[in-house]
Amino acid sequence: MSDILTRNPGADDVPLLKNLWCTVFGDIGIDAFFRLFYQAGMCLVVEHNGSLAAMGYLIPSGDIKAVTDDAGNEIDTKCAMIYSVGTLHEYRGLGLGTIIVNDLIKLAGNSGYDAVVLCPSEDGLFEYYNKRTELQDWFYISESVCDKPPAGTPSVLPIEISAYEYAAFREKLLTEVVHIRQDEKFFEYQLDLCNEFGGGLFRIGDSCAVVERQSDGIVWVKELLMHDKGNALHCGYINDAVCTNLLAPIANLFPAEKYFVRTPALTGAGRRFGLLNLCGNVLEPSAKNKIAPWYGMAFD
């Protein structure tokens, strides 16, 4: 019978963790992650018969904002993010990822977090974690594919801004939306990811965007937040005006054949993007929320 042990890593395990990361995910973002986020006490590894087989991390994610109780009060919910759960190929199928996720949920609670979030890398993993953990679907996005946005000279040019400036500006746009107020470090890490291929954090007039060019040349607008008419947050679709006013300026900086664009979704619409657990229960946004809870950076 195999021997499975879950534990926090020691100093000697760090090179093994980095090797496992590179084997499972490649080397993108590894240096920035260990510089900004790595804490041995917030990491779990699984040994299988004495060999390091799987890993997973908790990152301080920030507060879930604008969740209201029955009395209409705002609640700030301190949450952690489960990130980079990876298993070496030869150990897959043994349920080690499930062990890691469930133990990380417990670790989050024992570390003073009120909630834990996870963004699955594949759609099929939503059902997988629904059945095997206390995580439940909660965050949704609207995702559009745009081919060759309008060319020409845009009226507003994108201005590249710092992680601090971006974190502060996006909060102004998300005031009325249930969302995670992510830590500045999240955007520092995202900047490092953008620098691997090209991209950045941008303010475009009264809107903001996280732009990252992928290795295949496709440009991901991983977060596009914009005000529509009436000063409401635009969500749910990418129309011609958005293409002209926001994607055209981005396309001027990052020419591509295809653009994937993520924006907030209307409640009851969009696709699943993230899972949530709060003390074994799932938070329900107030009925007044017309926009689905917004996850933000997932680093995919």
pLDDT tens-place string over residues 110-121: 999 999 999 998
Residues in the chain: 300
What pLDDT, on the 0 to 100 scale, is given for residue 1?
42
Q: Any alpha helices (H) in the chain, and if so which ranges?
A: 14-25, 30-36, 96-110, 124-132, 163-173, 184-197, 240-242, 248-253
Strands 115-118 and 271-277: antiparallel
Query: Which domains, ranges and CATH numbers included, belong to the chain?
Result: 4-138 (3.40.630.30), 141-263 (3.40.630.30)
Dist CA 44 CA 56 (whole Å): 6
Average pLDDT for the chain: 87
Distances 43 to 10, 54, 66, 81, 195 between C-alpha atoms, Å: 10, 11, 29, 12, 26
What pLDDT, on the 0 to 100 scale, is given for residue 216?
83
What pLDDT, on the 0 to 100 scale, is given for residue 234?
72
Dist CA 233 CA 5 (whole Å): 47
What are 193-206's pLDDT values in tens digits?
998 889 999 999 88
Closest CA to 205 of 189, 224, 226: 226
Q: What is the arithmetic mean of pLDDT over 282-296?
A: 74
What is the 3-class SS of 106-123, one letter each residue? HHHHHCCCCEEEECCCCC
